[in-house]
Structure formats: C-alpha cells, structure tokens
C-alpha cells in the first residue's frame, strides 16, 4: 500500500510538471512589466507568473510569522504536564 501511494504521488507530481511545462511552452512570448520611476522589465510570461507566485508565497509566510512567534511563546510559557498522567502500574499480565 505504501508503494502504491508513493507511485501515485510521483505520478501526480509528473502530471503537474508536464502541465506547467506545456503552459510555459505555449506562453513563451515576452511581456513587459512597467514599474515605478520608469523602470521597465521584459521577460517571458512564465517567468513573470513564477515571480508573482514566489512573491505571493513569501508575502503569505511573512504575514504568518507574527502568529507563529506568538504561538511558540505561548507554548513555552505553558506548564509542563504532570508526570502522574503517565504512571504505569505493575500487573501480572505477560508482555506480548
């Protein structure tokens, strides 16, 4: 079952890669990015889309960082669980 799951995962990754590759090959024409102060940059469409995706993911991670730090700080302030919860009593039953 683990092998089947691994092969299905590899197949899904291959399909996604081939779809992105086909998209890149179909949209290889150059586009112009006009920025502030008259800055102009020309690159293929797939490069612009990839850059927009990476910048969006980076923005999302940076927006999540304060929440992650707050949660980590709350976890360090939380008292450790008592050891009495994991107390095991000896029995006459054999260990299997």
Residue 84 scores a pLDDT above 60: no
Distance between CA atoms of 41 and 51, rounded to whole angstroms? Answer: 13
Which pLDDT score, from 0 to 100, does residue 16 have? 95
Give the residue, 49 or 64, on which the prediction is more confident: 64
Contact 43, 58 (CB under 8 A): no
Q: Is 75 helix (H, G, I), strand (E, B) or coil?
A: helix
Residue 61 scores a pLDDT above 90: yes
Distance between CA atoms of 46 and 29, rounded to whole angstroms? Answer: 9
Indicate the pTM of the whole model: 0.60
Structural tokens at position 44? 């293929």
Which pLDDT score, from 0 to 100, does residue 77 have? 87
Find the largest Cα–Cα distance for the chain: 83
């Amino acid at each position: 079952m683990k092998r089947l799951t691994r092969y299905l995962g590899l197949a899904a990754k291959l399909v996604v890669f081939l779809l992105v590759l086909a998209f890149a090959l179909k949209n290889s024409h150059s586009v112009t990015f006009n920025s502030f102060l008259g800055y102009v940059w020309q690159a293929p469409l797939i490069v612009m889309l990839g850059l927009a995706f990476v910048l969006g993911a980076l923005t999302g991670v940076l927006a999540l960082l304060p929440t992650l730090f707050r949660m980590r700080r709350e976890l360090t302030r939380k008292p450790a669980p008592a050891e009495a919860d994991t107390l095991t009593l000896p029995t006459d039953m054999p260990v299997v």
